[in-house]
């Protein structure tokens, strides 16, 4: 089985995440894409919305896609959660005989050589990067690139819009917008 692993804070999840995952699924014939909600990523000082809220939003965004699955494998991680250890846990849970594909965005690819045990990660799975045509990685790591449409959406932009009472209706799924409003998030 070919399993994609797409980790992130998803704070909140947006259409750019979903388009990248779908593109990877199609281009690499992935049987499943796991959206791994980060508990405590090493590159962020803090996340202003709880793990449970972020997990729930991802669940809502994925509910109509049989090939996408939300993972809470990081829920109980104490301290910083590193991709290397998460991959080990996923391989234990889903089986070492599967082929694994780590899906990352161009922003992560640009500093991948600074990731904890990045060389080991490259041995554990193929790394797929969602890149715009002109955005190729400056480091010397050989990634597999998926050319993505130029969609300029980021979670930080969504949080800023919500904080300033602007609509995010066409930036994420309708269910996620309702959840954000119902739970008064990002205000």
* 3-state SS record for 23-88: HHHHHCCCCEEEEEECCCCCCCCCCCCCHHHHHHHHHHHHCCCCCEEEECCCCCCCCCCCHHHHHH
Q: Is 27 helix (H, G, I), strand (E, B) or coil?
A: helix
- The pTM assigned to this predicted structure is 0.93
Report domain extents, the chain: 2-151
What tens digit of pLDDT does each residue of 5-41 get? 999 999 999 999 999 999 999 999 999 999 999 998 8
The DSSP call for residue 49 is S
Q: What is the CATH number of domain 2-151?
A: 3.40.50.620
For residue 45, what pLDDT is reported?
67
């Amino acid at each position: 089985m070919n399993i994609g692993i797409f980790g992130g804070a998803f704070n909140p999840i947006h259409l750019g995440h979903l388009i990248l995952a779908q593109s990877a699924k199609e281009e690499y014939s992935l049987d499943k894409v796991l959206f791994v909600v980060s508990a405590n990523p090493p590159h962020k000082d803090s996340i202003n919305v709880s793990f449970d809220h972020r997990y729930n939003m991802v669940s809502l965004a994925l509910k109509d896609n049989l090939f996408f699955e939300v993972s809470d494998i990081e829920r109980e991680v104490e301290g910083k959660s590193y991709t290397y250890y998460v991959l080990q846990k996923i391989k234990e849970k889903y089986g070492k005989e599967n082929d694994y594909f780590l899906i990352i965005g161009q922003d992560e690819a640009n500093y991948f050589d600074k990731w904890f045990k990045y060389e080991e990660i490259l041995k554990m799975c193929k790394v797929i990067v969602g890149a715009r045509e002109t955005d190729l990685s400056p480091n010397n790591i050989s990634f597999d690139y998926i050319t993505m449409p130029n969609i300029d959406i980021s979670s930080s932009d969504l949080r800023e819009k919500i904080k300033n009472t602007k609509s995010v209706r066409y930036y994420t799924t309708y269910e996620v917008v309702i959840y954000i409003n119902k739970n008064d998030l990002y205000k």
